[in-house]
Chain A
Amino acid sequence: MAFLPELLLMGGALALFFVSLGESRARQAKAVALAVAVALVAACVLCLGQQAVLFSGAYRVDLFSQILKLVFACGYVLILLLGGELADIRDEVRAEYYLFLTLSVSGLVMLVSCVDILTLVIALELSSFPLYLMVPMRRERNGRRIQMESAIKYIMFGIAANGIMLFGMSYLFGLTGTTSLPVMVEKLRPVIASPLAIAGLAMTLCGLFFKLAVFPFHFWTPDVYQGASNETASLIASLSKVGAVAVLVRFVSLASPDNHAIVLLLTLLAIASMFYGNLIALIQKDLKRLLGFSGIAHAGYAMIGFVALDEAGYAAAIYYIVGYLFMVLACFVVICKVSRDGANVAMDELAGLYRRSPLLAVTLIVGIFALAGMPPFAGFMGKLTLLSAALAKGHLALVIIAVVNTAIAIYYYLCVIREACFRDAGTRPAIALDWPTRVLCVLLMAGILALGVAPARILDGISSSLASVNLPLTKVSQR
């Protein structure tokens, strides 16, 4: 029962595999994927309270993992709705696209339950490799294979980061003689201050920094966003970052409750990411590149939570990244619908959006202002929790740098709003929306607003689930 969501996803992936064997079965594949996604949401809701340890302590089902699985399931549905008919994916691989999408989600779903670094690496790869393949599935345009360039960059960076992560893990293994995270927590505690442990842990984090696009592992982000189709970029920008933050919680808590070197490292990376992302986003003309750089900055904000090295900080980081999922998807819906047959969207193509499609314009306003951290949206509450967690631990300078960055960022977010709301449409045509898109827009806005206005239950849920990330892990190892 506790394994139901994973089973469902694997069954769905298998079914999609058979569907994709035939010619041009994109429509059936989409139906199957959507059915799997809806069933997955139901299954995750059903399994929300489950507790279990599977595969001899390598896989743990608890509140923490189940909440995140529910988030992934919701994100999966949203991304399927957002993709529409996959206009920008080559005809012959559309069915396969759904297969890889499902596999990637299944990797993420497993990732959050893994408590052994071996299964964890495998789940991480399972979530990454389909993405490497989905990037080049975009159509060619004008004879330029920009998607191939992005795919190569993505896979090269990904493999390199993975290599560093595995190297770091080998240090941790060498120090503790175990691959099980709960045991590692215990054994690492006496030696965590040693340079070897710090180097091992830092290198291990690198693989996750890559997924989250933290400086200096961010270089792929804007290029991949630009080269990948809009649907793929929305997946890379949203779900895989949630996965990265979830696993970061597991690894960073190895350094809890206090580790000066790791705190310093995280602080510096957070500051560098925020400044780098925000300053370069200021001059972007392509909307996806802008979101890419803003994504780097948001990765920096999320790192603020980890700097605190306590549960409040982790909870804030997870809450923030879940909010980010909704915000960034809201922006990507607009990109997908504004773009003509899937091409990239330049800023000035948004002109007059408020006349061409009021619903999209409102969605964009909500999404962008949420990213900018304006109340009453999720971005504000997220920043509030992050900053108060960091300030409680005395990181005043970091907090001030973060708010300064918020002020810098507001300019380029306003530029997006300026194009969409203040400029005349000219001859640009109105945008007709189908019903799934309308539902999607409303759902995303409701999500952003609900997370911002009524975060109490969600925050409490995450906090109480975090209590089980550290402590009962040791219980698991004793069983």
Chain B
Amino acid sequence: MTFPNPNPDFPILSVLVFSPLAAAALAAFIRSERLLRWWALLCTTAIALVSLSLWWWFNPATAEFQFVERRAWIPSLKISYAVGIDGISLLLVLLTTLIMPLCVLCSWRYITTRVKEFMVCLLIMESAMVGVFCALDFILFFVFWEAMLIPMALLIGVWGGPRKIYAAIKFFVYTMTGSVLLLVAILALYLKVGSFSIPDMMGRNFAPEFQCWIFLAFFISFAIKVPMFPFHTWLPAAHVEAPTAGSVVLASVLLKMGTYGFLRFSLPITPYATHVFMPYVLWLSVAAILYGGLTALAQSDLKKLVAYSSVGHMGFATLGIFALNTNGIEGATLVMINHGVTTGALFIAVGIIYERLHTRDLGASAGLGKFMPVFAGFLGVFCLSSLAFPGTNSFIGEFLVLAGGFKVSTLLVICAVPGVVAAAAYMLRMLQKVAYGGVRNPDHSGLADLNLREVVTLAPLLVFVFWIGLHPQPFIHVMHASVQHLLEQTNGSLAPAAVALR
């Protein structure tokens, strides 16, 4: 499916990174709210279409970074503007650009105040998110990584729910605190390597002790972002209070940055430390799967339920990554994509309920299916996808992750199984309640089923649920070479001590 790139010098990644910013700048001059919505939709859709060309031109046979651009930025500090993508980041870039038009669509009626500022924040977010996945210079990465916090905090704090201020500040302080040590690690690496270039830092075989410190600094930052088990407390607050689009961006893209950080930085830059800390991270992942599953069972707020299910799903992603084998990492990457698709869709669905009922209470929304059959159909598919029903996308991802996990430790996987069962329990419980309810359902007879806009919002995600579920090969194919290369970097210089750990 690859065609030679007709114009290899075209800076397509820069275009993708900066065109949302330009669109945001232009949006500041539009006065009509209606026009603003259309403008944001137009821009995000156009960017999504442009980004699709990456898929056609990407060469999956090589693990090299592609579409690379490199320019000096601050020569005295050896900081350059360098972007490029490999198979893993390609998928995440596409996920980001494809999710954004849906975010605009799902805020069409939901956001009624300060529409201009909202759309500007969304577009700035898109710039920063694409930038994070493309950056090949550590400072550039850090700039995008941090710059994202401001619009996200505003999204939660201005357009959020009743406890929005608490949630916004908690989110900001948590993630910012995590990333300050990342900066120290970056500077320490810079002083060893002599440049901020990310590819230069990979496969360097730093001293073991140095690697461990760097790994820990990375780990705190990325684990907060994922979020891994003991660092997850900001997530439910942020998700519950954020507007629908904010939740979708948060779940679909922001959480992926943590796992992306592990894949891009922790594994190839500190391979020795990765093997040293691998067992601990694996058990934390299992803890996250169990914790997320059991907590989600107890929720009566729909958004909280989905938020805790995210903790569990991301536990699968980290489990796969730190299994350190092909199945595990490919599965983890697929879990990341699937979680973006499925959880994003679930948040949109909860947003649709909220727009109609002005509550997210599970009891209050019982029996919606009778009056909103189309909606119930969509919700059913996404719920099944979330609990990894065979034939849907999550099944492939979680299956691969568990297969990878088995090669590391059978005990580990067995311990994770109750989490899978819990996922089935809470998702089916939610689906049963919302679609059918009991005999004493609240009166929903006045509710309208999905309109065209809402169908258009959910339909692309539905396509991906089945596409990845039934024919995942193209997605695995595109990242295979990159994953192999990553594993060579991580396991190639494997110290004998690490083998003993298995």
Contact = CB atoms under 8 A, between A and B. Distances in A.
Contacts of A417: 153, 157
Q: Which applies to chain B's interface (DSSP): helix, strand, loop or mixed?
A: helix
Q: Give the interface centre of B144, B164, B169 by most chain A CB atoms within 10 Å.
A: B169
Given A354-B158, A456-B73, A456-B75, A407 B177 contact: yes
A384 B183 contact: yes
B149 A384 contact: no
A311 to B, nearest CB: 11
B143 A375 contact: yes
Interface in B94-121: 114, 117
Contact of B157 (A400, A407, A422): A422
Contacts of A358: 117
A387 B165 CA distance: 32
A18 interface: no
Given A403-B183, A407-B176, A422 B146 contact: no
Given A374-B146, A380-B146, A459 B165 contact: no
A375 B180 contact: no
A438 interface: no
Contacts of B72: 456
A418 B149 contact: no
Nearest to B178: A407
Secondary structure of the A contact surface, majority rule = helix
Given A369-B150, A414-B173, A418-B169, A376 B183 contact: no
A421 B154 contact: yes
A318 to B, nearest CB: 14
Contacts of A399: 184, 187
Given A455-B74, A459-B74, A411 B173 contact: yes
A67 to B, nearest CB: 15
A278 interface: no
A415 B72 CA distance: 37
A410 B173 contact: yes
B147 A375 contact: yes
A63 interface: no
Contact of B77 (A365, A385, A391, A404): A385
Contacts of A374: 146-147, 149-150, 176
A136 to B, nearest CB: 39
Contact of A421 (B158, B181, B191): B158
A423 B450 CA distance: 34
B184 A400 contact: yes
B184 A376 contact: no
Contacts of B169: 411, 414-415, 418
Interface string B60-80: 000000000000111111000
A380 B143 CA distance: 9
A271 to B, nearest CB: 16
5 contacts: A384-B187, A387-B183, A403-B181, A410-B177, A421-B158
Interface of A: 354, 358, 365, 369, 374-376, 380-381, 384-385, 387-388, 391-392, 396, 399-400, 403-404, 406-407, 410-411, 414-415, 417-418, 421-423, 455-456, 459-460, 463
Given A376-B143, A384-B183, 5 more contacts: A384-B77, A384-B139, A388-B77, A392-B191, A422-B168
